[in-house]
Chain A
Amino acid sequence: KAGVTQTPRYLIKTRGQQVTLSCSPISGHRSVSWYQQTPGQGLQFLFEYFSETQRNKGNFPGRFSGRQFSNSRSEMNVSTLELGDSALYLCASSLGRGENTEAFFGQGTRLTVV
């Protein structure tokens, strides 16, 4: 069974640009969550989508946005990149219902802003 796939694995962008990251969840999973990981702040929750609807949002500026498609694939967009956006971005998929919410993570996208 295929795991969670994130593309691309690595990105280098310039300040002020925008970037789109992609996440394909495990087949049958309808929930996709996004996290930012930095050495200083650890893992921080960005947002969660279930059946194309954003159910939960973390404390990030509006430059961070996302969406989910009917096949449960999700994209995350960051506009007007800042140096501080350099991080490992991880997505997690789960069934998303009730107590059976074991989360499975992808390998992440390493974003470097220069």
Chain B
Amino acid sequence: KQEVTQIPAALSVPEGENLVLNCSFTDSAIYNLQWFRQDPGKGLTSLLLIQSSQREQTSGRLNASLDKSSGRSTLYIAASQPGDSATYLCAGSGSWGKLQFGAGTQVVVTP
């Protein structure tokens, strides 16, 4: 059974600092690793999808890496802004698109 862990559970940084969010998973036989952002009371916004054959994906200030052998993914957010404050979730995709989520990292970026 796939288990996904996110560390740290919460993070507070001053504006401009780079963010590093960690995600680990137990089953290396995942298809994809997807990162999401969730604002309070809202749905999930897809940030990046890393397919199993890829090692990283980039979008603007975001970069995510995937190391299946070690069971880890890392999301980097460069030059953080107050608008980056949210909960960030990673999810591994297994059979038939079922996503197994971590508990999330709550990020606060202070001006």
Binding site for B on A (CB under 8 A): 4, 6, 31, 33, 35, 42-43, 45, 48, 50, 55-56, 58, 88, 90, 92, 94, 96, 99-108, 110
Q: How far is the CA of A108 from the CA of B36 in the complex (A)?
A: 15
| B103 contacts A by Cβ under 8 Å | yes
Binding site for A on B (CB under 8 A): 31-32, 34, 36, 41-46, 49, 51-53, 89, 91, 93, 95-104
Q: How far is the CA of A88 from the CA of B97 in the complex (A)?
A: 20
Q: Which 8 pairs across A and B sit closest by C-beta, in order of nearness?
A: A105-B44, A43-B101, A107-B43, A55-B96, A102-B49, A56-B96, A105-B43, A99-B51
Closest A residue by C-beta to B95: A56
Closest B residue by C-beta to A43: B101
CB distance from A65 to the nearest CB of B (A): 17
Q: How far is the CA of A93 from the CA of B102 in the complex (A)?
A: 19
B101 in contact with A33 (CB, 8 Å): no
Residues on A with beta carbons closer than 8 Å to the beta carbon of B91: 43, 103
Q: How far is the CA of A58 from the CA of B52 in the complex (A)?
A: 23
Q: How far is the CA of A35 from the CA of B46 in the complex (A)?
A: 15
20 contacts between A and B (CB under 8 A): A31-B97, A33-B97, A33-B98, A35-B99, A42-B104, A45-B98, A45-B99, A50-B96, A55-B96, A56-B96, A56-B98, A88-B41, A90-B43, A92-B44, A100-B51, A103-B93, A105-B36, A105-B43, A107-B43, A110-B41
